[in-house]
Amino acid sequence: MPTALERRARLLGPQMTTFYQDPLHVVRGEGVWLWDKDGRRYLDCYNNVPHVGHCHPRVVEAISHQAGTLNTHTRYVHDLILDYGEALTAKFSHDLSSLLMVCSGSEANDVALRMAQAMTGKTGIIGTDNTYHGNTAAVSQLNSSKVPVGGYQDHVRQVPAPDNMAPVGGTREGQAEAFAKGVEAAIAELEANGHGVSAMILCPYFANEGFPTIEAGFLDRAIAAVRRAGGVIIADEVQPGFGRIGSHWWGHERLGFEPDIVTLGKPMANGHPVAAVVTRPEILATFQDAFKYFNTFGGNPVSAAAAMAVLQVIEDEALVANAQSVGDYALSSVNDLKGNHDVIADVRGVGLFFGVELWRDGKPATDLCAAMVDEMRDRGVLLHSVGRYENTLKVRPPCVFSQDNADLLVQVMDDALRAVG
Amino acid sequence: MPTALERRARLLGPQMTTFYQDPLHVVRGEGVWLWDKDGRRYLDCYNNVPHVGHCHPRVVEAISHQAGTLNTHTRYVHDLILDYGEALTAKFSHDLSSLLMVCSGSEANDVALRMAQAMTGKTGIIGTDNTYHGNTAAVSQLNSSKVPVGGYQDHVRQVPAPDNMAPVGGTREGQAEAFAKGVEAAIAELEANGHGVSAMILCPYFANEGFPTIEAGFLDRAIAAVRRAGGVIIADEVQPGFGRIGSHWWGHERLGFEPDIVTLGKPMANGHPVAAVVTRPEILATFQDAFKYFNTFGGNPVSAAAAMAVLQVIEDEALVANAQSVGDYALSSVNDLKGNHDVIADVRGVGLFFGVELWRDGKPATDLCAAMVDEMRDRGVLLHSVGRYENTLKVRPPCVFSQDNADLLVQVMDDALRAVG
């Protein structure tokens, strides 16, 4: 009788990675908790997809009810996508009032890049050198850690990403200017090689870059340069969006800029495969004129119902405020660990998206970080790593995370650091 | 108070097309039936996504139960994707025993093209000149009717598709040879322009091409030429798959060839956003070595549960046999209409995927076909058009379609042809 891991390797391929040395075989979820097949409970401090908590009853009920009533596509008229579209776009400013619903953040970014191309007539794209925006052939050109099949094409420029411990330009204070210079150099290269600048695409929290500490205005000079070159700004809000950062619904609001296109994904429907592009009507119409896009599953009634339930739960349970208050509390508690553990080089984040960067002997403590991830899993707390050297513990729990949950996280982190540190 | 159509145009863009002059505002579905907001019932003769019938209770229950138990991603181990993967790949032969689950047929084809590229080291792709395989930037290069954003690149060759009324090479009998010559010419061009041949991608039912009448062996010479050139064969089974054609589970079985990669989509989970690539372990491993692909929503427990329920219902309700018997019955009945209506130039199809091509005065009757689609909608039967001239009525109902349903379809088609013919 083959084990689950053997079946998995045979069916899904030997390279299909799992988290943890001892992979977690999950069977149930509720709120911030996951249970494994042996009945052991884990505090989920990592998963952003179950944004309002694993198996939230209102989302489950919305999916069940609509799946039992009607599920079809947008070539028929249905009210739910309209109700949801109005509710969602009400959360945006500066005429981001149109949407195109798809099934994954990858599909959303794949569309967003073509919207930019259709609007500008250009093909060059600027991203960072430590990022990931999805897995389609077109979007994987932006990935820095996973080289796309066939290698990189010359229409993408990866500019140095901000970083707390190794700041672009040498100092944290000078990073915004250094980042902008990187963007300006990329613009010059794309204009020289004939692509021109269609878009700069960024996560406004630099989530995959390790969420370096940046403030409002950080991107202003870089954005101005892109706009001068005729390009548009795409904010990939898949990770910071829907209030996770606590202070605002969207990462771009916190940084104080106005993207032309916003892409949404993972947390949008609590795990139901739903994603979207939100943009100005002019951009959507230009894209649709250029390409008669249709997505069979995108915006179907069940997807719209699931996404609407998530939006309502965020409001009704005040999860944005919760992200801020619990996030502040947790960050402060994690900061207090610094005194006990020299390996903690940096503690940073906002809302329910924060982390701890580990260094030892003047070097990124990549192995220690990996050991910590496994040690905490063994102690019943799930998190993972991020950053250029995978030396930052990444905490990004469901947004129903409580102060008690934060206390447990910090206690276990303290214990685990003592055990492996 | 804006109408639903006004809200739709404002939110989803003015180019977001609907079916029918008088768009259908749907509120409920069950089996082969859809209801509009005024309570009127329609016989659904078009939608293949609700493969086992709209809102099939076993699929709804599977989704509801799993959504309330656990929904997470494949970086944890979970049994359902393994159980489903084993059940699905058992339906394939010649070592198509690995799968990669995604959210849409577009994502599946996007991956399939890169699998071919990773396996062959080449980039050229051969498709037909009257097809559609999806909407990502990479896959939209294959679309013949929707020019991709930025225009066509030179790694794709569109070869003349088979056609009943205007056969490639002049005669139906000579089409296989003529099609192969088109493929051979495309191979020569791709080798001359430096791309080489990575893959030929075809729907083995030529569904978007208007499902011309072809027999086993039709593709043999073309496939041999692609293999000689070092390319692989991708069968896009999104439309013919899961037993719709009645005689077999998959279109490639009916034609008697062995694809290297098979892509699946729409009907796979009855409307839940699920799709997959099924291939040989060697190809999956080569792709994963070339690119560390991960899909957040792909193969999640709810998606796997929904897909498993569909597979079980197909078996338990003997829907493949139903597709064959009801399909044969319906096709025969539609054939009988020929005597009454000179505009019927061709009746063709297999299983529950058939159609009626309309010609008048020696020309494709495109306008008449559009009028028929609307007339039948007004008379309570939903279908649509297909083909190079959109002059073929396309019938592709849920696979629970019965003889009574077929009788109603044929009666209404007869009446509608009298009314608008």
Task: Give the pLDDT score at A240.
Answer: 98
Number of domains in chain A: 2
> In this predicted model, what pLDDT tens digit does every residue of A114-166 receive, in sequence order?
999 999 999 999 999 999 999 999 999 999 988 898 899 999 999 999 999 99
pLDDT above 90: residue B1: no
Average pLDDT estimate for B94-101: 97
Residues of chain B neighbouring A74 (CB-CB closer than 8 A): 12, 16
Mutation test of the interface with chain B: which of A51, A75, A208, choosing the one with the most B Cβ atoms within 10 A? Answer: A75
Task: Give the pLDDT score at A304.
Answer: 98
Token code pair at residue A140: 């994987």
A407 phi, psi to nearest 5 deg: -60, -45
Give the containing element (helix H, strand E) for B100.
Answer: strand B98-102
Looking at the DSSP bridge assignments, the partners of residue B200 are B126, B233
CA-based nearest residue in chain B for residue A71: B271
Cβ contact A35:A42 at 8 Å: yes
CA-based nearest residue in chain A for residue B285: A13
Task: Give the pLDDT score at A360.
Answer: 97
Task: Give the pLDDT score at B370.
Answer: 98
Which of A12, A76, A289 faces B15 most closely, judged by CB atoms? A289
Distance between CA atoms of A304 and B235, rounded to whole angstroms? 31
Cβ–Cβ of B72/A29 closer than 8 Å? yes
Task: Give the pLDDT score at A21.
Answer: 93
Among the residues of B52-121, which ranges form H helices?
A: 57-67, 79-89, 105-120
Which of B15, B78, B293 faces A135 most closely, judged by CB atoms? B293
Average pLDDT of the residues of chain B: 97
Cβ contact A348:A213 at 8 Å: yes
Residue ranges of A 65-94 with Cβ closer than 8 A to chain B? 67-79, 81-82, 85-86, 89
Same domain for B187 and B324, yes or no, is: no
Mutation test of the interface with chain A: which of B1, B3, B15, choosing the one with the most A Cβ atoms within 10 A? Answer: B15
Same domain for B181 and B72, yes or no, is: yes
A100 touches chain B (CB under 8 A): yes
Gyration radius from chain B CA atoms: 21
Residue-range definition of the domain harbouring residue A381: 4-52+318-420
pLDDT above 90: residue B87: yes
Mutation test of the interface with chain B: which of A22, A64, A296, A396, choosing the one with the most B Cβ atoms within 10 A? Answer: A296
pLDDT above 90: residue B190: yes
Average pLDDT estimate for B372-386: 98
Task: Give the pLDDT score at B145.
Answer: 82
Q: Is B47 helix (H, G, I), strand (E, B) or coil?
A: coil
A7 touches chain B (CB under 8 A): yes
Average pLDDT estimate for A222-230: 98
Cβ–Cβ of B16/A54 closer than 8 Å? no
Cβ–Cβ of B24/A79 closer than 8 Å? no
Task: Give the pLDDT score at B16.
Answer: 85
For the whole model, what pTM was predicted?
0.98
Instruction: Please report, rounded to a whole number, the percentage of residues in chain B having pLDDT higher than 90.
Output: 97
Give residues with Cβ within 8 angstroms of B28, minimum separation 6: A69, A70, B34, B35
Average pLDDT of the residues of chain A: 97
Euclidean distance between the first and final Cα of chain A, in Å? 39
- HSE-CB at A90 with a 13 A cutoff on CA atoms is 10
Cβ contact A128:A209 at 8 Å: yes
Residues of chain A neighbouring B57 (CB-CB closer than 8 A): 68
Last residue within a domain, chosen from B264, B287, B316: B316
> In this predicted model, what pLDDT tens digit does every residue of B337-355 receive, in sequence order?
999 999 999 999 999 999 9
pLDDT above 90: residue B146: no
Query: Given pLDDT bands bounded at 50, 70 and 90, which one contains residue B414?
Result: very high
Same domain for A63 and A29, yes or no, is: no
Between strands A232-236 and A197-202, the pairing is parallel
Give the containing element (helix H, strand E) for A261.
Answer: strand A261-264
Residue ranges of A 354-413 with Cβ closer than 8 A to chain B? none
CA-based nearest residue in chain A for residue B384: A75
Summarize chain A as % helix, strand, coil (round to 5): 40, 20, 40
CATH number of the domain encompassing residue A34: 3.90.1150.10
Instruction: Please report, rounded to a whole number, the percentage of residues in chain B having pLDDT higher than 70.
Output: 100
Cβ–Cβ of A77/B18 closer than 8 Å? yes
Residues of chain A neighbouring B198 (CB-CB closer than 8 A): none
> In this predicted model, what pLDDT tens digit does every residue of B158-168 receive, in sequence order?
999 999 999 99
Same domain for B103 and B172, yes or no, is: yes
Query: Given pLDDT bands bounded at 50, 70 and 90, which one contains residue B80?
Result: very high
Q: Quote the Cα angle for A337-A339-A345, to 5°.
A: 75
Residues of chain A neighbouring B117 (CB-CB closer than 8 A): 149-150
Task: Give the pLDDT score at A382.
Answer: 98
Closest approach of chain A CAs to the CA of B97, in angstroms? Answer: 7
Q: Is the C-alpha dihedral spanning B339, B340, B343, B346 positive or negative?
A: negative
> In this predicted model, what pLDDT tens digit does every residue of A56-100 receive, in sequence order?
999 999 999 999 999 999 999 999 999 999 999 999 999 999 999
Task: Give the pLDDT score at A16.
Answer: 86
Same domain for A265 and A365, yes or no, is: no
Residues of chain A neighbouring B103 (CB-CB closer than 8 A): 103-104, 107, 273, 297
Same domain for B30 and B65, yes or no, is: no
Distance between CA atoms of B172 and A387, rounded to whole angstroms? 60
Q: With both helix axes pointing from N to C terminus, report the angle between B403-420 and B366-378 in degrees, rounded to the nearest 10.
A: 120
Token code pair at residue B170: 């002049």
Selected residue with higher pLDDT from B301 and A292: B301
Residues of chain B neighbouring A76 (CB-CB closer than 8 A): 18-19, 23-26, 34
Residue ranges of A 129-168 with Cβ closer than 8 A to chain B? 135-138, 140, 146-150
Closest CA to B306 of B108, B55, B98: B55
Task: Give the pLDDT score at B24.
Answer: 96
Give the containing element (helix H, strand E) for A125.
Answer: strand A124-128
Token code pair at residue A325: 């208050």
Residues of chain A neighbouring B18 (CB-CB closer than 8 A): 75-77
Same domain for B161 and B65, yes or no, is: yes
Residues in chain B: 421
Same domain for A239 and A324, yes or no, is: no
Mutation test of the interface with chain A: which of B33, B46, B82, B264, choosing the one with the most A Cβ atoms within 10 A? Answer: B82
Which of B74, B136, B290 faces A16 most closely, judged by CB atoms? B74
Last residue within a domain, chosen from A265, A288, A316: A316
Distance between CA atoms of A222 and A215, rounded to whole angstroms? 14
> In this predicted model, what pLDDT tens digit does every residue of B214-239 receive, in sequence order?
999 999 999 999 999 999 999 999 99
Give the containing element (helix H, strand E) for B356.
Answer: strand B353-360
Same domain for A233 and A272, yes or no, is: yes
> In this predicted model, what pLDDT tens digit does every residue of A36-50 receive, in sequence order?
999 999 999 999 999
Last residue within a domain, chosen from B296, B316, B336: B316
Cβ–Cβ of A34/B104 closer than 8 Å? no
Give residues with Cβ within 8 angstroms of B86, minimum separation 6: A7, A11
Task: Give the pLDDT score at B95.
Answer: 96
Residue ranges of A 185-244 with Cβ closer than 8 A to chain B? none
Same domain for B346 and B298, yes or no, is: no
Cβ contact A273:B273 at 8 Å: yes
Token code pair at residue A35: 């249970």
Q: Quote the Cα angle for A123-A124-A126, to 5°.
A: 145
Give residues with Cβ within 8 angstroms of A151, minimum separation 6: none
Residue B113's identity, in one-letter code, is: L
Give the containing element (helix H, strand E) for A86.
Answer: helix A79-89
B7 touches chain A (CB under 8 A): yes
Cβ–Cβ of A273/B69 closer than 8 Å? no
Cβ contact A16:B289 at 8 Å: no
Cβ–Cβ of B149/A288 closer than 8 Å? no
Same domain for A226 and A159, yes or no, is: yes
CATH number of the domain encompassing residue B193: 3.40.640.10
Residues in chain A: 421
Same domain for B257 and B351, yes or no, is: no
Query: Given pLDDT bands bounded at 50, 70 and 90, which one contains residue B421?
Result: confident
Interface contacts A/B by beta carbons within 8 Å? 326
Whether complex ipTM tops 0.90: yes
Task: Give the pLDDT score at B295.
Answer: 96
Closest CA to A206 of A179, A187, A173: A179
B353 phi, psi to nearest 5 deg: -150, 90
Mutation test of the interface with chain B: which of A20, A60, A154, choosing the one with the most B Cβ atoms within 10 A? Answer: A60
pLDDT above 90: residue B15: no
